[in-house]
Amino acid sequence: MTDFAALSFEDRRLDSLRRRIGWLCQALRFALVAYCLWVLFTIVRFWSDEALIVPRFASLKVDVEGMSHYQRLGAFGVSFVIWAFLVAACYAGWRLFSGYLEGSIFTPDAAGWLRSLALMGLIAALVDIAARPLMSLILTAHKGAGAHMISVYFRPEDLSTLMLLATLLALAHIQKTAADIADEHAQIV
C-alpha cells in the first residue's frame, strides 16, 4: 500500500455500492455468527446423545453400538477441530464484511480476508471429508479384530461446497490484482 488514501466512499460509485450491499453485509455478518453457534449446538447435541449417533452411523452401514464415552469424546474432538476451522473461516468473513461496511472494498486487506475465508472454508470442508473414515474407526474401536469399520463417502453437497469455495479463492486472487490496480490508480492525482 502507498501513502494514498484507499478509494473511499467519497466516490459516488462506491457510495452507491455501499448502499446496495450494506444491508447484505450486515445480514451476512450476523449470519456467520449464528452459523458458528448453530453448528456448535448441533455438534454438541449430536455427540452427547447416543440415540442419535447409533442410527446415523447405522444408515452408513457402520455399527457403533456399545461405544464408550471416550470414543464419543474422541469423535467429538474431531468434529470440534472441523468446527474450529469453520470459526476461522467465519471470522475472516466477519472481517471482510466489516471492512466492506467501513469502505475498504478494493483494498489488499479485503482481498486478504476473502482469501482467508476461502482457504479456511476449503480446509474445513476437506478435513470434514477426511475425518469421516477416522470417525468410524474411532467409534468402532471397541469392536473385535476384523470388525473395525472405515466408512468413506462423498456427498454431492461436498463437491458443490468445494467448488463454491474454490471459486471464492479464485475471486480473492482476482480482487487482489484489482486492489493493486486501484492502489496504482489512486496514485494519479
Partner 1 sequence: MPIIVNLDVMLAKRKMRSRDLAAQIGIAEQNVSLLKSGKVKGVRFDTLEKICDILQCQPGDILEYRPDGKTTP
Considering beta carbons, is residue 15 or 184 the nearer one to partner 1?
184
CB of 185 to partner 1, least distance (A): 8
CB of 11 to partner 1, least distance (A): 13
Considering beta carbons, is residue 8 or 160 the nearer one to partner 1?
8
Query: Which of 165, 168, 166, 131 has the alpha carbon at shortest distance from 150?
Result: 131
Is there a contact between 64 and 57 (Cβ–Cβ < 8 Å)?
yes
Considering beta carbons, is residue 88 or 186 the nearer one to partner 1?
186
Considering beta carbons, is residue 162 or 186 the nearer one to partner 1?
186
CB of 163 to partner 1, least distance (A): 38
CB of 188 to partner 1, least distance (A): 4
Q: How far apart are the C-alpha atoms of 94 and 117, rounded to whole Å?
A: 9
Considering beta carbons, is residue 2 or 59 the nearer one to partner 1?
2
* Torsional sign, CA 107, 108, 111, 116: negative
Cβ count within 10 A of residue 125:
22
Q: What amino acid is encoded at 117 in this protein?
A: L
Q: What amino acid is encoded at 38 in this protein?
A: W
Residues interacting with partner 1, by CB under 8 A? 2-5, 184, 187-189
Q: How far apart are the C-alpha atoms of 119 and 170, rounded to whole Å?
A: 10
Q: Quick one: residue 180, left, alpha or beta (phi over 0 = left, psi -120 to 50 = alpha)?
A: alpha
